[in-house]
Amino acid sequence: MSSPGASALRTSTCPVARATAVVGDRWSLLIVREAYDGARRFNDFQRRLGMAKNILSGRLRALVADGVLETTPAADGGPYHEYRLTEAGLDLFPVLVALRQWGEAHAFAEGEPRSELVDDRAGRPVVPLRVVAADGRPVDATTTVVRKPRTAA
């Protein structure tokens, strides 16, 4: 079920607005996180997230419709289907890393235990993401501007 402003978000000229129309609620991003962590079946997501089944069902349907997840026959040949990340879903990885790193910096008390994202080859933590200009210089909110498209007169 879409909110009243959802259609405006989906047609906005702002990429952030369009992205939030697809994955802008906490449940959708947590479903994607669980898919990265190996959840494939409805019951996997439900057990891991503790979501109400009707909410989970709606979010999974929407993520499939928006091309973030796809359904495939169960790997074990069972009667159920599985959810897999599409290319668009896999492309959300840096978004989840950025949210994780923001959470590490701003949502935990000093020394509070938390999960950690590590490079599986080296076993070491992933370094903080950096936003860089085309020439490699670091940029931030104070050194960038958004160019808005011109509207027809």
Helices (H), the chain: 6-11, 15-23, 26-36, 42-49, 53-65, 87-90, 93-106
CA distance 12 to 89: 21
- 104-142 residue pLDDT tens: 999 999 999 999 999 999 999 999 999 999 999 999 999
pTM exceeds cut of 0.85: yes
Average pLDDT of the segment spanning 21-36: 95
Kindly compute the dihedral angle of the four CA atoms of residues 90, 95, 97, 101, in this order, to the nearest 10 degrees.
Answer: -170
For residue 4, pLDDT beyond 90: no
6-95 belongs to which CATH class?
A: mainly alpha
- 121-131 residue pLDDT tens: 999 999 999 99
Report how far apart the first and last C-alpha atoms of the chain are (Å, whole number). Answer: 34
Residue 103: per-residue pLDDT: 95
- 40-81 residue pLDDT tens: 999 999 999 999 999 999 999 999 999 999 999 998 888 889
What are the strands, taking DSSP E only, across the chain? 69-73, 81-85
Domains of the chain, residue spans: 6-95
